[in-house]
Structures are given as structure tokens and as C-alpha cells.
Amino acid sequence: MRRFWRQLIAAAFICGLGEAALAQQPRVVPQSHADAVLSFSPIVKKASPAVVNVFATRIEQRPVNPFLDDPIFRRFFGEGGGGPRGPTAQSLGSGVIVDAGGLVVTNNHVIEGMTDVKVSLADKREIPAKILLRDPRTDLAVLKLTEGSAFPTMELGDSDALEVGDLTLAIGNPFGVGQTVTQGIVSALARTQVGISDYGFFIQTDASINPGNSGGPLVDMNGRVVGINSAIFSKSGGSVGIGFAIPVNMVKIVVAAAKGGGHQVKRPWLGATLQNLSKEISDGLGLERPAGALIADLIAKGPAAEAGLKRGDVIVSVDGQSADDPEAVGYRLATKPLGGQATLGVLRGGKTVFLPLRLAPAPETPARDPVKVKGASPFAGATVVNLSPAVVEELSVQGVAIGVVVTEIDEDSTAARLNLQKGDVILAINDEKIGTTRELEQATGGRRYYWKITLARGGQVFTTVVGG
């Protein structure tokens, strides 16, 4: 019996030493499933100082009512209707510092339409920020902190190295409650047909992402940014485990453009119209599966035509990376720097051929020649430019090759009340074709009893008549 108690006491003593050793053991980044039972805190400590909250507001000026200078009038009729009324719209999101000089990446939709942006750092400092670059096509924006220096940064990783099942962290400010960390895995890669931006090629994760997380980083187990959290799929507005992040390899192109002083991102131009492959089309072409992007049309002297692509060809890879649909082809090309070339894998006649594609931007031909429409026409207050391949790419114009496109619309203008929209292509006025901005300026120079307007929007053509 004494021996039994001696063994029991010894075992308890050894267990106590083991627990003490575990308590003193330094925390390490988990490298395996067994390690994952420990802690992600080393990653969070490394990454979180570079994660920020983004606050954006817009201040509108109201027309000044001269009677409001009279205090008696204000007493009876209130303060409404006079002068600036302070912020009329607010937006809250997240961001990540990617350069020690104070460059912050966030979502474009966080600051869209906003004029005043402030950034709150993890150490509680609040710093004004300047909008350097907006890129609506990717839903990304780059800000510059206007005060301070030597900011904490997060390294940009490689989204092409991600695999389904990899562990990730999402860091941001959901619902404005403060910096929050959630953990999950990469649920899927190369998600297309999501409808968030022009370049639909997203990382899907089940790390909880909620409103306010937009613009925050998706972080790998080395504490590097692998994506910018952009959207969730939800019927309730809260996280259901389906979140989407913009791959960091796309982010790198936008950051490089901002560092280079650009106000917009120029990307390689294919010079071709791509189409999804249906089962019927793939069967007709003798393909094993409907994967790839079908060349439906080519622009003469464009890079695709110069490379030797033909109608009916199917692009299946870009520089050896598979491309299962037009969105994948667009993404792969959009993450390539201008200059040099990319190699396209193309199915033609049952065989795969490899063609060199010149990586050049879309040409500005004809020149934009912007015109702001004035006078009594329904287009007053709209700015239009000539349609060129560069404008088509920039504004995602579909289905038209000639006309003038709307780029800006003044608030409370006649064009705004007509519900004219950015990206609309004006094709004809009173059955007269409009091919240039000067033709539009001339056609809208006088008064008319009525205006018959033909325009293209989202690939569809509409005709309407409004009174003069």
C-alpha cells in the first residue's frame, strides 16, 4: 500500500512539472493540425498593428436661404435650408497599411462618393487620409496617411500559392465594434460569377466576415496579406461562413500604380470578346469539358489578333495557369505588368497551341476630347468623352463600338434628373447618329420641342422621348 501511495505522489509531482513546463512554453505559429490547438496570437501580434479602421464622410452644401440670417425667421421656420449641414453620409470599413510611408489599401465601396476620409490605427491614433487612387473595376482603393511616418506594415503574400484548406485569419472592424480577429480556412479559389466587380476571381473563406470588415486583410499563417475582404453571401446581413476576398496579386498591381503616381490602373488589353463555354458549344468543339474562354470576336490589329488568335479558339491557360472562363482570363492578364508578353494556351482543332500575347494597354484612339454639356438639353450637366478601346476597358462598356460615353454627371443637374448614368453610351439624338463629343455638343446646342434619345446601357439599347 505504501508503495502505491509513493507511486501516486510521484505521478502527481511529474504531472505538476509537466503543467508548469507547458505554462512556460513559448507560443509558436501553428504549422500543423496538432499545433493548431495552441494559439494564433503570434500571427495576430505580427499583423494587427497594420490593420486600420476607415471612416469616410461626405459633406454637402445646401443652397443658402437669405431669410435665415434673421433670428426671428429661424425661430419660426427652423434651421433647414441654409448652408452646410455637416456630414450627410457616412461609411465605415477596414484597411491595411502596406507601406511604411502610410499607404493604406481598402475597398473602393468603403470610400465611394465620400470626400473626407480618416483612418484610426490600432494604437488609437486618428489620422486624416488622402485618396490617391480609386479602382472601381477591382473594388480597391489606395489612401495616403497625411500625418506621421514609419507606420507598421503588413507584407504582401502570394495568392497563387494558396490552396483550398489553408488556414486564414480575417482582421477588421465588424459592425464598428473594434478590431476583431476571426479564423477559418480557404473554402475555394478562383470564384467567378460572384458579381462584385469586373474582375470576378475571388478567394472564398469561412472566416467570419461581417459589415465593417470590408477592406480588411485576409492573412495567412505567416502573417502576410493574401487577400482584401470584400463581400459576403448572406440573406440576413450577417456572416454565414461564405466570404469573398480579392486576391493579393491583384492588390499588388493597384498599389504599384498608386506608388507610380497614377490616378488609374492601366492593364494589358486583350483586344477580343470572350464568351463562356456551354456544354453544347464544348461538345461541338470536341472538348472533354466546358472549361476555357471562347474567342467570339476580335478587334483588328489588337494584341489577340497580332498573336494569331482566331474566332472559335478557346483560351485555356495564361502563362501555364489554368483559365476556366473569361473572368479567369481577365484576372490572369490583369495581374501582369505592362510590357513583355504572356503565353496563352489555346485549343484549336483538337490540339493545344501556345501563342505569345503582347502585354500592352488599350489605345486612346480616338482621343477622349471631353465635353461638358450645357444649355437646355436633357444632357445638361453631363460630361462625355469619345469611345475608344481604353474607355471601353475603363468603364466596362458592353456591346457598342461607336458613340460617346458619359463619364461624369453633376448632382441636381438635368442629366441627373433624367437618370442618365456613368457608362451610358449615347448613340443617337432625334435619329441622328452621334459619333463624337463635338457632334453631341452641336446636336444639343438649341431648343427642341422633344428629344428622342437612343443610348446603350449594360449591353442593351434603349430609346426614349422626353419633352423639350
DSSP readout, 117-141?
Answer: EEEE-TTS-EEEEEEEEEETTTTEE
214 known member of a binding site: yes
Residue 212 counted as an annotated binding residue = yes
Q: Which of 159, 214, 239, 282 is catalytic?
A: 214
CA atoms of 225 and 99, how far apart (whole Å): 13
Residue with cell 478557346: 314
Q: Is the dihedral of CA 432, 436, 437, 438 positive or negative?
A: negative
Look at the alpha carbons of 274, 279, 283, 288 in this order and tell me if their dihedral is positive or negative.
Answer: positive
All residues at 6 or more sequence positions from 143 whose CB lies less than 8 Å from its CB, including other chains: 54, 95, 103, 104, 105, 106, 111, 117, 119, 129, 130, 131, 132
Check if the beta carbon of residue 215 is closer than 8 Å to that of residue 243.
no
Instruction: Give the containing element (helix H, strand E) for 429.
Output: strand 425-429
Instruction: Note whether 366 and 375 are within 8 A (CB).
Output: no
Look-up of cell digits 476583431: 180
* Residue 160 annotated in active site: no
Q: Which of 48, 91, 109, 317 is catalytic?
A: 109
Omega cis (within 30) before 366:
yes
- Among 91, 135, 139, 220, the active-site one is 139
Is 263 noted as a catalytic residue in this protein? Answer: no
Q: Which of 384, 377, 426, 428 is nearest to 409 (CA)?
A: 384
* Half-sphere exposure for 324 (CA within 13 Å, toward CB): 11
Does 139 participate in catalysis according to the annotation? Answer: yes
Residues 6+ positions from 20 with CB-CB distance below 8 Å: none
Going by C-beta distance under 8 Å and a sequence separation of 6 or more, which residues neighbour residue 383?
370, 371, 372, 373, 406, 407, 408, 409
**Feature table: binding site for substrate:** 109, 139, 212-214
**Feature table: binding site:** 109, 139, 212-214
Mind telling me the catalytic residues? 109, 139, 214
